[in-house]
C-alpha cells in the first residue's frame, strides 16, 4: 500500500531539506536583524507606505520580531514563494510524467490512474510538513535568544494553518498538470494563476471589490492575523482543504480519461 506515495516522497526528501534550510536561514536572518532596528521608528516608515500596500500585504506592525516575520517571512516566503514553488512542482506530476514516459511504465503495473494521482499528490506533504515542522522551532529559539519571543501558540497555529493553504496551492498545480497538454505550459499556467490571485487579492482587499479576494487561496490564510492578533481562521482552513479535495478529485477524473499516447 502507498508504494507510489512512498517512492515519490523519498524522491522529495533532499528538496524538502533544502527548502527547510533556506526557510530557517531566511527566518534567522530577520531574527538577527531585529535588534538593529531598535532605534529605528519602523512604524513611522510604515505610515508613509500607500494604504493599499499596507492593507493588501497585511502589514500591521514592524516594531517587533513577530511583526517583521509576519510580513517578510510569512507574507512573502510562505504565501507567495512557497505557494508558487509547490504549484510549479505539482504542475509536473502528470504532465512531466507523461512527457518522460515515466507514467507509462508505472501504469503497466496493477495500479489505477486515480491512485497514481492521489499518491503522487500526497508525496508533496513531505516538503510541506518538513518546512512547517522545523522552521517554527528555529524561530522560537531565535526569538528567545534576542529576548523578543514570538507567541508560541500563535506560531504553532500559523504553521498548522499553513498546511491547508500550501496543499491548495499544490492542488492548483496538479489541476494544471492534467488539464494542459505540456509540462512547460502547466508550470507556467499554475505559477501565473497564483501570481494573478496574489496580485488581485493585494489590490482589492479593503476596496469595494473585496468580494473578488474570496476566490483566491490567500484570502483564507492571513499570517499577520494569526501571528500578531491570535486570530485563527479555521473556517478558511476548511475551505482550503475542501478546494484541495475538489481539485484532486477533478484531476483524478481527468487523468482517467486522458490519452497517454
Question: What digits encode the pLDDT tens for the residues 53-75?
Answer: 667 666 777 778 888 888 889 99
**pLDDT value of position 46:** 67
pLDDT digits (tens, 9 = 90+) for 74-113: 998 999 999 999 999 999 988 888 888 777 777 777 788 8
Q: What Å distances lie between residue 252 and 44, 130, 179, 215, 255, CA to CA?
A: 51, 26, 11, 22, 5
**pLDDT value of position 261:** 61
Q: What Å distances lie between residue 74 and 71, 209, 241, CA to CA?
A: 6, 25, 20
pLDDT band at 52 (very low <50, low <70, confident <90, very high): low
Q: d(Cα 171, Cα 26) in Å, to the nearest integer? A: 26
E strands present in the chain? none
- Would the pTM of this model clear 0.95, i.e. be above it? no
Question: Poorest-confidence range of 20-24, 49-53, 238-242?
Answer: 49-53
Q: What Å distances lie between residue 164 and 2, 78, 88, 107, CA to CA?
A: 21, 12, 17, 29
**pLDDT value of position 64:** 80
Mean pLDDT, rounded, of the chain: 88
CA nearest 79: which of 57, 110, 98?
57
Q: d(Cα 236, Cα 201) in Å, to the nearest integer? A: 15
Amino acid at each position: 500500500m502507498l508504494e507510489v506515495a512512498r517512492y515519490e516522497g523519498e524522491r522529495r526528501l533532499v528538496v524538502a531539506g533544502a527548502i527547510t534550510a533556506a526557510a530557517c536561514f531566511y527566518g534567522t536572518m530577520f531574527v538577527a536583524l531585529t535588534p538593529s532596528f531598535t532605534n529605528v521608528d519602523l512604524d513611522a516608515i510604515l505610515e508613509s507606505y500607500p494604504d493599499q500596500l499596507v492593507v493588501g500585504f497585511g502589514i500591521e506592525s514592524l516594531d517587533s520580531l513577530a511583526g517583521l516575520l509576519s510580513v517578510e517571512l510569512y507574507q512573502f516566503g510562505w504565501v507567495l514563494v512557497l505557494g508558487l514553488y509547490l504549484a510549479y512542482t505539482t504542475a509536473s506530476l502528470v504532465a512531466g510524467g507523461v512527457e518522460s514516459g515515466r507514467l507509462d511504465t508505472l501504469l503497466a503495473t496493477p495500479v489505477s490512474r486515480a491512485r497514481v494521482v492521489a499518491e503522487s499528490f500526497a508525496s508533496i506533504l513531505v516538503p510541506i510538513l518538513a518546512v512547517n515542522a522545523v522552521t517554527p522551532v528555529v524561530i522560537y529559539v531565535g526569538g528567545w535568544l534576542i529576548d523578543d519571543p514570538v507567541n508560541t501558540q500563535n506560531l504553532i497555529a500559523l504553521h498548522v494553518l499553513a498546511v491547508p493553504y500550501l496543499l491548495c496551492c499544490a492542488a492548483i498545480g496538479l489541476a494544471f498538470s492534467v488539464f494542459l497538454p505540456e509540462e512547460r505550459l502547466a508550470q507556467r499556467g499554475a505559477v501565473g494563476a497564483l501570481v494573478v490571485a496574489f496580485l488581485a487579492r493585494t489590490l482589492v482587499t479593503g476596496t469595494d471589490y473585496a468580494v473578488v479576494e474570496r476566490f483566491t487561496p490567500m484570502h483564507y490564510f492571513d499570517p499577520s492575523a494569526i501571528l500578531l492578533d491570535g486570530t485563527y481562521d479555521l473556517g478558511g482552513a476548511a475551505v482550503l482543504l475542501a478546494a484541495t479535495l475538489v481539485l484532486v478529485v477533478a484531476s483524478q477524473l481527468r487523468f482517467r480519461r486522458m490519452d497517454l499516447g
